[in-house]
Amino acid sequence: MSSVLLVAHHERAEAAGLARSAAAWLRHHEHDVWVTAADGAALGLHDLVAQRDPATADLVISLGGDGTMLRAVQLLQGAAVPVIGVNVGLLGYLTEVEPEALSQSLERWFAGPTAGHWQIDERMLLDVMLFRSDGSPAGTWTALNEGVVEKLESGHTVRLQVSIDGAPFTSYAADGLILSTPTGSTAYSLSARGPVLSPRMRAVLLTPVSPHQLFDRSLVLDPTEAVEVELLGHRSATLSVDGQPAATMAEGDKVTVAPSEQVARFVRFGERRFHQILKAKFGLTDR
């Protein structure tokens, strides 16, 4: 018997219905299935709620889009639990399974990698660390997509000093600065005109948001190159991780990023070519 955690989109009725269907299939096959209290309350799945650590699950099933996949990874906090992504909504970069194929995908998963013809796609994670101006640690978060230091006040920029491997690089006057993984290169960084990186790479991508200076290019760094961002001046900033607010920053506070020792583990049931997903997402043609 396996323990399976369902993580579902809170605002899509189809996700709640799929959660019910998945739970029925899993229970019929004598597996333990549950949801967090937040999902149970949002989706009316009160009978599935259990007070457990998500890291104790054997499998996570994400029912939604890329945002739900991000939430599933955040819940795991680096635990080596595989995630099956079921696409409820538009074409996503991370989700794997269409709703009508959910039962078949579960059969393939429980048959094992050889009989079920599936494999694990490992994705780099970033440890995002915040230090106050006196050097005291203020928090550590794990990001699949990115950590972002961004302005709080509309109509103003923030000044951010970037150091690489302990040496000052430059200061940015900008709306913010994105520190992303290759997976995150198709998220916020892309909208800020950052490059698209293959998710098979290990790299840290530094992309400024609306910089007020001539140097406005992204940097693609080796993950061993330590990156530090210090907030200069009197204006406050906010730190967010994978789109969720994490902390408020004041003058002298610093954010550092480093590759996590853990990885996100996504279940893939067939050959998944990133460039073909990108092609479909943007409606690119062969000519």
Q: What CATH number was assigned to the domain covering residues 3-118+269-282?
A: 3.40.50.10330
Q: How many helices (H) and strands (E) does the chain have?
A: 7, 16
Pair 264, 115: CB distance under 8 Å: no
Residue range 47-72, pLDDT digits in tens: 999 999 999 999 999 999 999 999 99
Say whether 66 is catalytic. Answer: yes
CA distance 137 to 49: 34
Which residues touch 266 (CB under 8 Å, ≥6 apart)? Answer: 69, 82, 83, 84, 85, 94, 96, 120, 121, 122, 123
What percent of the chain has a predicted confidence (pLDDT) above 90? 84
Residue range 65-122, pLDDT digits in tens: 999 999 999 999 889 999 999 999 766 788 889 999 999 999 999 999 999 899 999 9
Q: What is the pLDDT of residue 40?
A: 94
CA distance 130 to 140: 6
User: Which 8-state DSSP code applies to residue 231?
Assistant: E
Least confident of 16-25, 132-141, 155-164, 274-283: 274-283
Examine the pLDDT at 129 and tell me if it is beyond 80: yes
Examine the pLDDT at 153 and tell me if it is beyond 70: yes
From the candidates 39, 47, 58, 66, which is the catalytic residue?
Answer: 66
**The token pair that represents 111 in the structure block:** 């048959």
Examine the pLDDT at 33 and tell me if it is beyond 70: yes
Examine the pLDDT at 45 and tell me if it is beyond 70: yes
Examine the pLDDT at 272 and tell me if it is beyond 80: no
Alpha-carbon torsion, ordered 103, 18, 22, 71, to 10 deg: 110
Same fold, 3-118+269-282 and 125-261: no
Which ranges of 1-64 does DSSP label H, i.e. alpha helix?
Answer: 13-28, 37-43
Helix, strand, coil % in the chain, rounded to nearest 5: 25, 40, 35
Q: What CATH number was assigned to the domain covering residues 125-261?
A: 2.60.200.30
Examine the pLDDT at 283 and tell me if it is beyond 80: no
Mean pLDDT over residues 175-196, rounded? 96
CA distance 32 to 50: 11
CA-closest candidate to residue 68, choices 44, 86, 56:
86
Higher pLDDT, 229 or 214: 229
Q: What is the pLDDT of residue 91?
A: 64
Mean pLDDT over residues 173-194, rounded? 96
Q: What is the pLDDT of residue 285?
A: 80
Taking the model in full, what pTM does it have? Answer: 0.90
Q: What is the pLDDT of residue 157?
A: 94
Which residues touch 13 (CB under 8 Å, ≥6 apart)? Answer: none
Q: What is the pLDDT of residue 282?
A: 74
Alpha-carbon torsion, ordered 152, 140, 58, 98, to 10 deg: 30
Q: What is the pLDDT of residue 93?
A: 82
What percent of the chain has a predicted confidence (pLDDT) above 70? 99
Q: What is the pLDDT of residue 130?
A: 98
In 47-157, at which residue ranges do the beta strands (DSSP E only) sit?
Answer: 59-64, 83-87, 119-131, 137-143, 146-151
Tokens 């790479």 found at: 201
Q: How many Å is the maximal CA-CA distance in the chain?
A: 62
Measure CA 259 to chain center: 14
- Locate the domains of the chain by residue range: 3-118+269-282, 125-261
